[in-house]
């Protein structure tokens, strides 16, 4: 669990309960699957999405009998997408540790991801409202389509900021949005307020993913705790590259568009992105989404967790991993 939660003892205890519930529900006859998932649960994720569920609940009646299971579902849904992501991307590192697909093989990783999806619906069926199940189902569909769009765009020279934003809206921002929305809605918050929290989550998620993509060009495997420049190696062109390409297409024409990049070519592309202000422009757009996020937070009713949410958002904007 990230050290940031030490600043919020109540949230930390609730997140501990979320982790315990996840571990309880992944128990199965196949101990290899069970232990693999427990390793992933304990691998040091930030637990942002379940924390947002719990924060959203503070704007309702804060019923932990509802918020804890909802938070567990959101985190396990996120974990399932990560496992499948790593299979598609052939990633070797996740959260600073060897990925499930690297350790156990792609076939096994696919089944582990599938099993996590099944556990999500088991918890939902037992603890959540029909509305929550509908929202989660729509979110899963949107996330899957975001992944499909990303797959279809690999190595494509049709670099578009609009397409990129559409992709990350489904892939990342959707989970941030439904985390805050469902936390509030499941705990009886006003519908308008729950939607406002969902919008805050969307803007925060957009900024979060843009920053993540910036770090892919600025960080190392050690600093970002996953394979640096892995998206680029897989032909996934993110915002820093898209902006740099728009600024100076000529310098990229000889290095982009291939279906494989050597380490030297990767370094060359990264340098070109830096030299042509791709990172600077990407940071500016991240700031715009964060400003929308903060504006939304400022309009929330006075509540201790209004300020907690703002502090966490500020931390995410300044993160280096």
pLDDT winner (highest mean) among 26-40, 84-98, 121-135, 184-198: 184-198
pLDDT at residue 282 in the model: 96
Residue 133 has pLDDT above 80, yes or no: no
Confidence check: pLDDT of 267 > 80 = yes
**Mean pLDDT, rounded, for 154-158:** 77
Nearest one of 87, 154, 95, 136 to 114, comparing CA atoms = 87
The conformation of residue 190, written as its DSSP 8-state character, comes to -
Q: Is 93 helix (H, G, I), strand (E, B) or coil?
A: strand
pLDDT category at 255 given cuts 50, 70, 90 is confident
State yes or no: pLDDT of 143 exceeds 60. yes
> Is the predicted pLDDT of residue 152 greater than 90, yes or no?
no
Task: Give the count of domains, the chain.
Answer: 1
Q: If you search the block for the tokens 């975001």, which residue do you land on?
A: 146
**Residue 250 structure tokens:** 């000529």
Residue 91's φ and ψ, nearest 5 degrees, are -75, 140
pLDDT for the residue numbered 213: 93
Cβ atoms 44, 2 nearer than 8 A? yes
Whether the CA torsion 23, 26, 31, 32 is positive or negative: it is negative
Domain boundaries, position 253: 3-318
**Does 157 or 8 have the greater pLDDT score?**
8
CA distance linking residue 129 with residue 111, whole number of Å? 27
Low-confidence winner among 67-76, 94-103, 177-186, 265-274 (lowest mean pLDDT): 94-103
pLDDT of residue 300: 96
CA of residue 13 relative to chain centroid, distance: 22
Beta bridge partners, 97, equal 94
Tokens 């902006």 locate to: 243
Q: Which of 84-98, 116-130, 212-226, 287-301 has the highest mean pLDDT?
A: 287-301
Per-residue pLDDT of 257-266, as tens digits, reads 777 788 888 9
CA–CA dist 194, 256 (Å, integer) = 43
- CATH code, domain carrying 225: 1.10.600.10
pLDDT value of position 81: 86
Contact 119, 107 (CB under 8 A): no
Provide the Cα torsion 147, 149, 154, 159; round to 10°: -130
| pLDDT of 223 higher than 50 | no
Q: How far is CA 288 from the centre of its chain?
A: 19
* DSSP character string of 227-284: -TTHHHHTT---HHHHHHHHH-GGGGTTTSS-S---HHHHHHHHHHHHHTTHHHHHHH
Distance CA(113)–CA(76), nearest Å, equals: 9
Most confident of 156-160, 253-257, 297-301: 297-301
93: β partners:
98
Strand spans (E) along the chain:
93-94, 97-98
Q: Is the dihedral of CA 68, 69, 72, 78 positive or negative?
A: negative
- The pLDDT score that the predictor gives to residue 14 is 97
């Amino acid at each position: 669990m990230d050290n940031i939660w030490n600043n919020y003892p109540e949230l930390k205890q609730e997140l501990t309960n979320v982790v315990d519930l996840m571990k309880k529900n992944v128990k199965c006859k196949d101990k290899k699957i069970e232990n693999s998932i427990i390793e992933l649960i304990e691998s040091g994720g930030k637990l942002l999405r379940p924390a947002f569920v719990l924060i959203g609940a503070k704007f309702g009646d804060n019923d932990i009998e509802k918020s804890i299971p909802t938070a567990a579902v959101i985190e396990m849904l996120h974990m399932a997408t990560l496992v499948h992501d790593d299979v598609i991307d052939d990633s070797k590192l996740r959260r600073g540790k060897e990925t499930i697909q690297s350790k156990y093989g792609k076939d096994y990783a696919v089944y582990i991801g599938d099993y996590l999806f099944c556990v999500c619906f088991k918890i939902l069926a037992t603890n959540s409202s029909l509305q929550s199940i509908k929202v989660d189902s729509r979110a899963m569909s949107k996330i899957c389509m975001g992944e499909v769009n990303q797959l279809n765009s690999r190595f494509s020279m049709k670099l578009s900021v609009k397409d990129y934003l559409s992709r990350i809206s489904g892939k990342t921002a959707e989970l941030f949005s439904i985390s805050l929305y469902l936390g509030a809605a499941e705990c009886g918050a006003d519908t308008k307020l729950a939607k406002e929290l969902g919008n805050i989550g969307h803007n925060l998620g957009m900024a979060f993913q843009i920053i993540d993509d910036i770090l892919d060009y600025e960080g190392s495997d050690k600093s970002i705790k996953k394979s640096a420049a892995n998206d680029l190696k897989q032909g996934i062109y993110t915002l820093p590259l898209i902006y740099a390409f728009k600024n100076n297409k000529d310098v990229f024409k000889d290095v982009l568009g291939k279906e494989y990049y050597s380490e030297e070519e990767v370094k060359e592309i990264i340098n070109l992105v830096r030299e042509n202000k791709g990172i600077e422009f990407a940071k500016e757009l991240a700031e715009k989404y964060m400003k929308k996020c903060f504006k939304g937070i400022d309009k929330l009713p006075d509540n201790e967790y209004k300020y907690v949410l703002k502090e966490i958002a500020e931390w995410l904007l300044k993160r280096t991993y």
